[in-house]
């Protein structure tokens, strides 16, 4: 039996193989057969003592079931340790019941993973009030990877002197500052005032700094891009010569991306945590470094 291997699905074949290469480990595609009623039959061909099970969880519902089946199959094949490598980890937004009767999805999914896997590796999980996923499931060994240095490296080659990096809201502050620091770029961060579910105002203190400068909007996630559109409109009105955006996780649809372009955002670039037309940087090197640092003795 192999000491360690990376197992991935067809929908993440490129990044999964990239992680295997970065770790110097064999990679194996997981075979999935789907029945007419929607059930999945999952098969792994070879076992390993330490199994790194790779899959990003955009469009998560079907993928989650297949991950759990794969984890069970790997155990049956002799795996002593199953580490789930999930570049984008879904269901993290709902960390409390905002209305009576709501499920706290962050807790449910974390506990589900902990019941089937020994470890978890993820990129910039969308945690707000939760300090770490170990606070929910202490038995789950976690490694958190930041995409900040990867995005800084992505921006560096064609960065125009004087470029201002902008975080669209206060939650983005530590994130945009982490990207800006190695680049030596000034930072401004937006402030949201919420009057209701759909009634939100956005202000950008220090926006006068962008006059005559290019701007890069930086956030950990782009969902529909609504906040970015509001930010871009204000930045362009304040004299920015151009606006683009970078993010770790781009979940925006083709229609969302078209609206961003029509709203003055020249391009959107993202890491490969989620497949799509915005992918411009691979997370495999950073993921491999985190895995070696946490489970290196088992590889």
Tally of CA atoms within 13 A in the half-sphere of 55 that contains its CB: 27
Q: Is 192 a catalytic residue?
A: yes
At 235 the three-state DSSP class reads helix
Query: DSSP letter at 159?
Result: P
For residue 9, what are the CA distances in angstroms to 17, 28, 126, 137, 244? 10, 9, 24, 26, 32
> In the numeric block, which tokens belong to residue 251?
């979940």
Radius of gyration of the chain from its Cα atoms, rounded to whole angstroms? 20
Kindly give the pairing relationship between strand 164-167 and strand 214-222: parallel
Which phi and psi (to 5°) does residue 58 adopt?
-75, 150
Task: Determine which one of 63, 80, 192, 261 is catalytic.
Answer: 192
Among residues 2, 8, 46, which one has the least CA distance to residue 30? 8
For residue 14, what are the CA distances in angstroms to 7, 17, 217, 251? 12, 5, 27, 18
Q: So which residues are the catalytic ones?
A: 192
């Amino acid at each position: 039996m192999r000491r360690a291997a990376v197992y991935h699905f067809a929908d993440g074949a490129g990044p999964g193989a990239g992680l295997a290469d970065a770790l110097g480990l064999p990679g194996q595609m997981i075979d999935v057969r789907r029945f007419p009623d929607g059930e999945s039959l999952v098969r792994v061909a070879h076992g390993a003592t330490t199994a790194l099970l790779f899959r990003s969880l955009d469009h998560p519902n079907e993928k989650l079931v297949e991950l759990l089946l794969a984890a069970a199959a790997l155990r049956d094949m002799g795996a002593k340790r199953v580490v789930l490598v999930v570049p984008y980890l879904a269901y993290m937004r709902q960390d409390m019941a905002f209305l009576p009767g709501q499920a706290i999805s962050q807790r449910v999914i974390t506990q589900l993973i902990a019941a089937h896997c020994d470890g978890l590796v993820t990129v910039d999980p969308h945690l707000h009030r939760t300090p770490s996923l170990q606070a929910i499931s202490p038995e789950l060994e976690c490694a958190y990877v930041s995409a900040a240095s990867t995005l800084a490296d992505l921006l560096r080659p064609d960065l125009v002197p004087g470029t201002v990096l902008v975080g669209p809201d206060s939650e983005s502050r530590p994130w945009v500052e982490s990207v800006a620091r190695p680049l030596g770029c000034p930072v401004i961060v937006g402030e949201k005032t919420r009057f209701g579910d759909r009634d939100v105002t956005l202000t950008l203190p220090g926006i006068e700094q962008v006059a005559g400068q290019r701007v890069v909007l930086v956030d950990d996630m782009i969902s529909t891009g609504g906040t970015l559109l509001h930010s871009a409109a204000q930045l362009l009105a304040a004299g920015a010569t151009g606006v683009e955006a970078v993010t770790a996780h781009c979940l925006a649809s083709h229609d969302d991306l078209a609206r961003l372009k029509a709203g003055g955002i020249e391009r959107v670039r993202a890491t490969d945590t989620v497949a799509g037309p915005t992918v411009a940087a691979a997370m495999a090197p950073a993921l491999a470094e985190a895995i070696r640092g946490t489970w290196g003795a088992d590889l």
